[in-house]
Amino acid sequence: MQPLDRSATELVAAVRSGDLTAVACTEAFVDRIEAVNGRVNAFLAVDRQRALDQAAAIDARRSAGQPLGALAGLPVAVKDALCTTDFPTTCASRMLAGYRPPYDADVVARLRRADAVIVGKTNMDEFAMGGSNENSAFGDVHNPWDLARTPGGSSGGSAACVAADMAPVAIGSDTGGSIRQPAGLCGITGFKPTYGRISRRGLVAFASSLDQIGPMARSAADCALVMETIAGHDPGDATSLGEPVPSYTHELTGSLAGLRIGRVAEHYGPGLDPEVAQGVEEAFAAFRAAGATIHDVELPHAKYGIPTYYLIAPCEASSNLARYDGAHYGVRAEPGRGVRAEPGRGVRAEPGRGRHAEAGDGDAGQFESPLVEMYCRSRAEGFGPEVKRRIMLGTYALSAGYYEAFYAKALRVRRLIQRDFLEAFAKVDVIAGPVSPTAAFLLGEKTGDPLAMYLVDMYTVGTNLAGIGGISFPCGFTAGGLPIGFQLQGPALSESLLLRAAHQYQQLTDWHLRRPALAT
Ligand code: GLN
């Protein structure tokens, strides 16, 4: 059996039955990582030996007749925004270079308890801020379908590693689209569950009222399998939902007949690439042919999604990132000292020499005290430009005199966006449309224009603002051979419905089975 060609569901069944050892399965994927990651840069850390040791322990337990977890022997890649005790957790930031968390994220602990094998940590936009993976302090990720293009972001490494067969499953996080958009641009399936369905404990916080973890895999069925392990209540996360977790894999069956799908006319305005629009229309036609009905719905405030998100997310980020001051968390710049590597704590930045050092850093006279100087230099050198932009936007919008005009107003518009979805879901079961306005764009194409980069999120941010679920999966390819993504959004706690609708589509089509020709 060639593990790289198998679904996660098949791999787990094969390990359980003894047709495949966990070691052989893990070895196939780490070999693949070693063969192609140099060109894709999807991983920030891989630990071959540790993964093989974990796999060998699973095989030994199986031989001894001991019970195995639900994901026994399944290689999983984890976004570097989730805390792991056995890998550094950097959020692709110089600020956290070399940082080793003292505990595992709840999701990581659940994966381990289920006997999944964590093969490595994936590259991302710094602190999950970005839509192209070009904001990583550790280099761009390349789209396996065309290495000159972006895989999307911020979970670009997770999407690219699944697309390039380096892992059957990856974990991502989605604050404004960071699971669904890279999944769409890389031709895989990405699922952002309802806010609170999966614990955020141990996910490095970006915007706490929007952040949600989710699975990324080749198919909706594989996402359902992983959901059964990672979803559920966590008393350690105050926003975690207490509702029982259904058996998502058992709820995949059932036809699409009678499914009421909403179509939003405003989605088809300026900015939407015609090839993407056509791919999306073909997906609607496939759903209709399978017995679903399509209905026009309105989301009158969707057009305010981008300005609303780009106020609320930076406001929350400016607060969450205040902890990186060089004392409590993060690299510390020490005036007058050179770089000092401190075991387990990361690199100490050299004042005035850091990758992101600002002009004027050499002038010690501008600081009111050595402590303030340390804070300022540590933050100037530790954070990259996009993270600084978000902190400044958020700090400005929260400051006295502007709070009402910007932050409070954005919260009110968020309510209207939520209400639009509630009203639409009174008429339809799910809402469908494009994930992104274009297929994967060229690396460098939008880096000089932050607003153009923000507009890439126009179809995804509403899901997070409303706290609902969304799934994206491939529905075709452009003439140039790039995947086109389709998105379904459903009401709160409609996980089973979204996974089932996507799975049933994937039973009728084979877009999700296409692989990029990334030669080894
Ligand atoms: N692209 C969006 C941003 O830059 C979304 C990021 C995310 O979901 N983490 O904020």
pLDDT tens readout for residues 216-241: 999 999 999 999 999 999 999 999 99
- Per-residue confidence (pLDDT) for residue 239, from 0 to 100: 98
177 lines ligand 1 (CB under 6 A): yes
Q: How many residues belong to the chain?
A: 520
Instruction: Give the residue with greater pLDDT, 353 vs 375.
Output: 375
In 3D, which of 483, 505, 484, 498 has the Cα closest to residue 164? 483
469 lines ligand 1 (CB under 6 A): no
Q: Which atom number of ligand 1 is nearest to the Cα of residue 310?
A: 10
- Per-residue confidence (pLDDT) for residue 498, from 0 to 100: 98
Q: Which atom number of ligand 1 is nearest to the Cα of residue 173?
A: 9
Ligand 1 centre distance from Cα of residue 206 (Å): 9
210 lines ligand 1 (CB under 6 A): no
130 lines ligand 1 (CB under 6 A): yes
Ligand 1 centre distance from Cα of residue 433 (Å): 19
387 lines ligand 1 (CB under 6 A): no
- Per-residue confidence (pLDDT) for residue 367, from 0 to 100: 87
- Per-residue confidence (pLDDT) for residue 365, from 0 to 100: 65
Element (H, E) at 332: none
Beta bridge partners of 432: 263, 488
Element (H, E) at 371: helix 370-382
Note the pLDDT tens digit of each residue in 61-119.
Answer: 999 999 999 999 999 999 999 999 999 999 999 999 999 999 999 999 999 999 999 99
Ligand 1 centre distance from Cα of residue 151 (Å): 14
**What's the rounded mean pLDDT across residues 116-139?**
98
Kindly tell me if the per-residue pLDDT of 348 is higher than 90: no
Instruction: Give percent of the chain with pLDDT exceeding 70.
Output: 94
Which residue reads 């791999």 in tokens? 11
436 lines ligand 1 (CB under 6 A): no
Instruction: Give percent of the chain with pLDDT exceeding 90.
Output: 91
Mutate to test the pocket of ligand 1, among 80, 129, 208 (most ligand atoms within 8 A of CB): 129
470 lines ligand 1 (CB under 6 A): no
Contacts of residue 511, defined as CB under 8 A and 6 or more positions apart, other chains included, come to 187, 473, 474, 475, 476, 477, 483
- Return d(Cα 497, Cα 429) in angstroms, integer: 9
Mutate to test the pocket of ligand 1, among 457, 459, 460, 487 (most ligand atoms within 8 A of CB): 457
Mutate to test the pocket of ligand 1, among 82, 124, 154, 456 (most ligand atoms within 8 A of CB): 154
133 lines ligand 1 (CB under 6 A): no
431 lines ligand 1 (CB under 6 A): no
pLDDT confidence bin for 340, thresholds 50/70/90: very low
Identify the residue whose C-alpha is closest to ligand 1 atom 4: 130
Instruction: Give the residue with greater pLDDT, 43 vs 344.
Output: 43
Q: What is the mean pLDDT of the chain?
A: 94
178 lines ligand 1 (CB under 6 A): yes
Kindly tell me if the per-residue pLDDT of 244 is higher than 70: yes
Kindly tell me if the per-residue pLDDT of 1 is higher than 90: no
9 lines ligand 1 (CB under 6 A): no
Instruction: Give the residue with greater pLDDT, 339 vs 510.
Output: 510
313 lines ligand 1 (CB under 6 A): yes
Pairing of β 169-174 and β 75-79: parallel
- Per-residue confidence (pLDDT) for residue 270, from 0 to 100: 85
Q: Which atom number of ligand 1 is nearest to the Cα of residue 207?
A: 9
Mutate to test the pocket of ligand 1, among 175, 391, 458 (most ligand atoms within 8 A of CB): 175
Q: Is the pTM of this model over 0.85?
A: yes
- Per-residue confidence (pLDDT) for residue 338, from 0 to 100: 39
- Per-residue confidence (pLDDT) for residue 346, from 0 to 100: 42
- Per-residue confidence (pLDDT) for residue 519, from 0 to 100: 65
What sign does the CA torsion over 133, 134, 138, 143 have? positive
Element (H, E) at 167: none
In angstroms, how far apart are the furthest CA atoms of the chain?
A: 72
In 3D, which of 510, 437, 436, 423 has the Cα closest to residue 475? 510
Note the pLDDT tens digit of each residue in 172-188.
Answer: 999 999 999 999 999 99
457 lines ligand 1 (CB under 6 A): yes
Instruction: Give the residue with greater pLDDT, 360 vs 135.
Output: 135
- Per-residue confidence (pLDDT) for residue 344, from 0 to 100: 41
- Per-residue confidence (pLDDT) for residue 518, from 0 to 100: 86
Q: Which atom number of ligand 1 is nearest to the Cα of residue 153?
A: 1
Mutate to test the pocket of ligand 1, among 125, 203, 453, 460 (most ligand atoms within 8 A of CB): 125
Note the pLDDT tens digit of each residue in 443-489.
Answer: 999 999 999 999 999 999 999 999 999 999 999 999 999 999 999 99
- Per-residue confidence (pLDDT) for residue 336, from 0 to 100: 56
* CB 139, CB 41: distance < 8 Å: yes
pLDDT confidence bin for 354, thresholds 50/70/90: very low
Which residues are designated catalytic? 79, 154, 178
Where are the strands (E) in 202-336, listed by range? 212-217, 260-264, 293-297
Q: Which atom number of ligand 1 is nearest to the Cα of residue 457?
A: 1
Ligand 1 centre distance from Cα of residue 495 (Å): 22
Ligand 1 centre distance from Cα of residue 309 (Å): 9
Identify the residue whose C-alpha is closest to ligand 1 atom 5: 176
Beta bridge partners of 293: 260
- Per-residue confidence (pLDDT) for residue 363, from 0 to 100: 54
175 lines ligand 1 (CB under 6 A): yes
Ligand 1 centre distance from Cα of residue 125 (Å): 9
* CB 117, CB 76: distance < 8 Å: yes
117-122 β-sheet, strand order: 43-46, 117-122, 75-79, 169-174, 212-217, 189-192, 469-477, 483-490, 430-434, 260-264, 293-297
Identify the residue whose C-alpha is closest to ligand 1 atom 10: 129
Q: Which atom number of ligand 1 is nearest to the Cα of residue 390?
A: 10
- Per-residue confidence (pLDDT) for residue 304, from 0 to 100: 98
